[in-house]
Amino acid sequence: MRDAPEVVAQKLAHLPDTPGVYLWKDAEGVIIYVGKANRLRPRVRSYFGSDHLDSPKTRRLVELIADVETIVVPDEASALILEQNLIKEHRPRYNVMLRDDKTYPYIKVTVQESFPRVFVTRRLQSDGARYFGPYTDVAAMRRALDVMKRIFTVRSCKYDMPREMPDRACLDYHIGRCKAPCVLLQSRADYRAMIDEVVAFLDGRTDDVVRLVKDRMERASEALDFERAAELRDAVLRLQRLEEPTAVMEVEGGDRDVVGYARDGDDAAATLLRIRSGKLVAREHRFLEGVEGESDGNVLSVYLVGSYLKAPARARELLIPFDFEDRELFEQALAGEAKVLYPQRGPKRDLLDLAEQNARHLLEEFKLAEQETDERAADPVYELGQQLGLEKLPRSLVCFDNSTAQGKDSVGSIVWFENGRPRRAEYRTMKVKSVDEASGPDDFQSMREVVGRYFRRRLDERKALPDLVVVDGGKGQLSAADEALQELGLGALPLVSLAKRDEEVFVRGRSEPLRLSRRSPALRLLQQARDEAHRTAVGYNRKRRSMRTITSELLRIPGVGPKKRTLLLANFGSLQGVREATLEQIAALDGFSETSARAVLQALGVLPEAAKSEAEP
């Protein structure tokens, strides 16, 4: 459990006990996590208790915390929305985030203008316009636009009408794509009525549009305007063809939005099925990343607040796959625009099952595409050599790490990788001798000693040297390892370090770190070596602490010297093994008698003192 940094500790006493948002910052002032709270003070304090220690992700976060900033809001629903806005703006590394948040297009209808326009945009603005989307399937969006242009004569010019008006109609008027409201050949009322139909069409209310177009067709026929009636007839056929494939199932009529959810490891997908008049008219999806260690409820909340809450068009009912902690806050944020339901059975449950099937299918497609990308990528060893600019491919590499427990039992580990795979026969561990408990932990000196001792022995035994040396840490550890290599005349050996904070790669001789793609096979190879070295170092450190504990326990037993201690451990393996041994088993060892065996078990608390007094004459 880490104590709060001094700057944070000073702020903790003055935090308000009200709803708000908190922003954790690292030593460089970078925002690394944004969270919300109903009561800021206890929520921020909780990060420095034991509640979060079971989460590796939160442990890593707490290790980096250097400062905190808080924003007070009127209520928790406001905190929920502000949290997602800040996440979208700052993209903190420890928050769950929507993947590709700014890339999906919308269809924008400028209903706030006198003569509205319809066009594609990727920016959502609070300007009074209607937005439809986001369209994750861009081809579907293009098809919708194509049908719309064939049926409706929406202007394509950018004039600010009626303030700006051209002198004459453009080519669109002459080919029948526009009725030229710019030169008053179409009235404003007629144009607005057409825009209402466009909005209904984009909103999925195709039946309403078909009825309107049929009414116009009949009126044109009655007026003997057969050419116009034929155009409207063709428009009806296009609308009906567009509608046919969307009629998947009927669910008591009405409009509903249905959310599906699927998760696999550190990736998750959410789908939104838009049901209008009982028909599926659109499917949208979003991928989420950074979900490791997060509950499904939290991930679903991020999607709903970050994506669905900002959608310009919503149905009156929203079906969700499961309940989640922030549901009441989310409903408050909806301000009564939609009723949130979690059906357990019946036709609405069938819709949820369909949405979840879509989510699983999309996530599987995403994982397969990701896997194919990885398979097509260059060999990690080859790519690592290219990224580091090495003259020789790093077919063999060694990675160093240190481990200590409160300044005690400082140890080092060395792991060897051959052609991108661990070669465990070459793993080594060693006790650090140059750092003692009195002086406290010194990671730089420990790294210098471990690297120096390893390569000195390697040279003495005339063993092959690796093609690349990797150390766990930043510039300090890199410099310490470089000093050790220089002393041995190995300054030409390629050397890099991998920093945990941002997975930056520091290279000897370069001032700026390399930032490899998170999906880079080269970075994954370095991470695998680093993690393996860390695992080995921690394991050896625990073993030494365990042996020290065993030795200290056995030292307190009268009459048990070094030889007997060694004999006990050799036969029973551990202190627990000695405790579980019987009196007869210990007495049977060389140098032990029944009396000394009883003394051992009594000292370890296995036999009570009463048993000792009864056995003595």
pLDDT at 616: 44
pLDDT at 552: 56
CATH topology match: 256-374 vs 382-539 = yes
Beta strands in 499-566 (DSSP E): 505-507
pLDDT at 494: 94
Q: Are 185 and 173 in contact (CB under 8 A)?
A: yes
Q: Are 317 and 336 in contact (CB under 8 A)?
A: no
Residue of 133, 110, 125 lying closest to 192 (CA atoms) = 110
Q: Are 485 and 491 in contact (CB under 8 A)?
A: yes
Strand 106-109 vs strand 118-121: parallel, antiparallel, or unpaired? antiparallel
Q: Token pair of 234, please? A: 């063709």
Please list, in sequence order, all residues whose beta carbon lies within 8 angstroms of the beta carbon of residue 468, skipping any fewer than 6 positions away: 384, 388, 390, 394, 396, 397, 398, 494, 495, 496
Q: 476 vs 36, 278, 448, 490, 499, CA distance in Å? A: 36, 64, 10, 19, 10
Residues of the chain under the 50 pLDDT cut: 101-102, 243-251, 375-378, 610-617
CA 404 to centroid of chain Cα atoms: 30
Helix boundaries (H) for 49-187:
56-64, 76-90, 138-151, 171-174
pLDDT at 458: 92
Calpha distance 42→513 (Å, rounded): 38
Q: Domain extents for the chain?
A: 6-95, 106-246, 256-374, 382-539, 556-615
pLDDT at 46: 86
Number of other residues whose CB lies within 10 A of the CB of residue 420: 18
pLDDT at 247: 36
Classify domain 556-615 at the CATH topology level.
DNA polymerase; domain 1 (1.10.150)
pLDDT at 265: 74
Q: Token pair of 1, please? A: 């459990």
pLDDT tens, position by position, 142-183: 777 777 777 788 888 888 888 888 888 888 888 878 889 998
pLDDT tens, position by position, 214-266: 888 888 888 888 887 887 787 777 666 654 433 344 445 578 899 999 988 77
pLDDT at 249: 44
Q: Report the helix count and the strand count for the chain, using DSSP H and E.
A: 21, 19
pLDDT at 527: 92
CATH for 382-539, options being 2.30.30.140, 3.20.20.70, 3.30.300.30, 3.30.420.340: 3.30.420.340
Question: Taking the complete model, does pTM exceed 0.85, yes or no?
Answer: no
- Cis peptide preceding 134, ω within 30 of 0: yes
pLDDT at 143: 72
Residue of 137, 102, 36 lying closest to 307 (CA atoms) = 102
Q: 357 vs 273, 351, 369, 537, CA distance in Å? A: 11, 10, 18, 44
Calpha distance 419→608 (Å, rounded): 58
pLDDT at 510: 84
CATH for 6-95, options being 3.40.1440.10, 3.50.80.10, 2.60.120.10, 3.40.1010.10: 3.40.1440.10
Q: What is the CATH number of domain 256-374?
A: 3.30.420
Question: Which 3-state string (H, E, C) describes 203-219?
Answer: CCCHHHHHHHHHHHHHH
